[in-house]
Amino acid sequence: MKLLKLNPVVRAIGVMGAVAVLVGGVTFAALADAATLTGNTIATESANADLLLYDGDSFEPTAPGFDLAELKPGEESDKFNFYFKNNGNVDLDVTARINVLPVLTGLDADQVTLKFYGACPDVLTVTLGQLSDGTPDALPCGPLVEGAQGVGGEDATNAANYQVTVTVDEAVELDEAPKTVGEFDLTFDGTAVTEEL
């Protein structure tokens, strides 16, 4: 086998090139550095659901309701206005419920119908029995956007202004004893709207 003889100059250039590559690599590694962001934390904004009703003077957690007398079966009552304020930092889906059925005399819970009107063509029609069955009923025209505030004395043209009417079923017969629905609390729940991914 014949060995290839290299010119000493070529050999010297090759050795110097190899050394330069090694030194360059070492030099690059020696000059590298790192910087670190320390103590990082992540948290979402807290959701604050705060639904209020206008009580005639200010927006509060409770407000006086309606008092209907001499309502004739089959006839819808006048509209009772009520006004919400979304005092939280999230949009709210608003639902209605009754925790405890009132005392009923001469009629049953499914013979009393409430209609909820908002600032849209949709209407929620529900009986007292349905309002108390444990399934919250969504008010129309939702959600109630963050910062929405009803205006007292106005009808349901404002997105936070609502109206409710009551109708006693026309099948309820009138006689000497009046048919009555005792006091009850109508509770509205505001639930934060969640965006679907």
Tokens representing residue 140 in the block: 């129309």
Q: Residue 169: enclosing H or E segment and its boundaries?
A: none
Is 12 contained in some domain? Answer: no
Is 2 contained in some domain? Answer: no
Would you say how long the chain is, in residues? 197
pLDDT of residue 152: 78
The rounded percent of the chain whose pLDDT value lies above 70 is 78
pLDDT digits (tens, 9 = 90+) for 40-96: 767 666 678 899 999 999 999 999 999 988 889 999 999 999 999 999 999 999 999
Q: How many domains does the chain have?
A: 1
Whole-number Å distance between alpha carbons of 138 and 103: 25
Whole-number Å distance between alpha carbons of 131 and 124: 11
Is 46 contained in some domain? Answer: no
> What is the overall mean pLDDT for the chain?
84
Is 27 contained in some domain? Answer: no
Q: Is the pLDDT of residue 25 over 60?
A: no
Whole-number Å distance between alpha carbons of 94 and 192: 9
Is 115 contained in some domain? Answer: yes
Q: Are 132 and 91 in contact (CB under 8 A)?
A: no
Is 42 contained in some domain? Answer: no
Average pLDDT over residues 89-111: 93
Is 19 contained in some domain? Answer: no
Is 71 contained in some domain? Answer: yes
Q: Are 180 and 105 in contact (CB under 8 A)?
A: yes
Residue 57: give the domain boundaries. Answer: 51-192
The rounded percent of the chain whose pLDDT value lies above 90 is 57
